[in-house]
Amino acid sequence: MRVLVVDDDPAIAETVRRTLVAQGWAVAVSHDGEQGFESALAGDFDLIVLDIMMPGRNGFEVVRDLRRAEVWTPVLMLTAKDGDVDQVEALDFGADDYLMKPFSVAVLVARLRALARRGAPPRPAVLMVGDLRLDPAAHTVHRGDTRIDLAPREFALLAFLMRNAGTAVSKVRILDSVWDVNYDGDENVVEVYIHHLRKRVDAAFGVRSIETVRGVGYRITSSGA
């Protein structure tokens, strides 16, 4: 595994580097966003660990510009503690996951392994499933020409399903990605939000794109008319 770590804090960057090297991974380090962006473009990396607040380009700009350049390397962003806005923007700009500072290096390694297992499929800026269109940056959803207004959590859940279109995702994975890895509430909250989404993006248009996969979880497809 080849990992690029982009963080302007030398202590954090070195801690992450040492941790990943101990796992047998090859690690390159950049200390500012501009250098990190150029390294990500030029290097063949399997994963990127990216801080947000950096000189030059910030982390949001780096991941946004990488996706515009069609670089789909999985990105885990390091966000401020309790930085809900940072976390939402990280995902909207094209990051695959985030981890709040201060973080456990064991959790960091586990999250990176999970990203590596998923691979690096294309993740275009605008998500499309059939005639359902979601623009994370503009925070808009359309079914055909009709705009659909969603609550923030509904929007995040739909974006997650659409990023994994055609794949069945479990409640646990949904909670980890759309809520928080530290969420310890009832798993059935996912069912409630799936129900809301179906009413707004499916039932109102006479389609059934959000499917229940018995014993697994949920899947969105373009063939549920």
DSSP the chain: -EEEEE-S-HHHHHHHHHHHHHTT-EEEEESSHHHHHHHHHHS--SEEEEESS-SSS-HHHHHHHHHHTT----EEEEE-TT-HHHHHHHHHHT-SEEEESS--HHHHHHHHHHHHHH------SSEEETTEEEETTTTEEEETTEEE---HHHHHHHHHHHHTTTS-B-HHHHIIIII-TT--S-TTHHHHHHHHHIIIIIGGGT---EEEETTTEEEE-S---
Closest of 76, 31, 74 to residue 56, by C-alpha: 31
Q: Looking at the whole model, is its pTM more than 0.85?
A: no
Residues 6 or more apart whose Cβ sits within 8 Å of residue 157: 174, 178, 190, 193, 194, 197
Check residue 122 and give its pLDDT: 66
- Give tens-digit pLDDT for 81-96: 555 566 777 777 888 8
Give pLDDT tens digits for 102-150: 888 999 999 999 888 877 766 666 889 999 999 877 789 999 999 999 9
Q: Percentage of the chain surpassing pLDDT 90?
A: 56
Q: Distance (Å, rounded) from C-alpha 91 to C-alpha 137?
A: 9
pLDDT over threshold 90, residue 211: yes
Reported as a pLDDT band with limits 50, 70 and 90, residue 184 is: low
Work out the mean pLDDT of the chain and round it to a whole number.
87
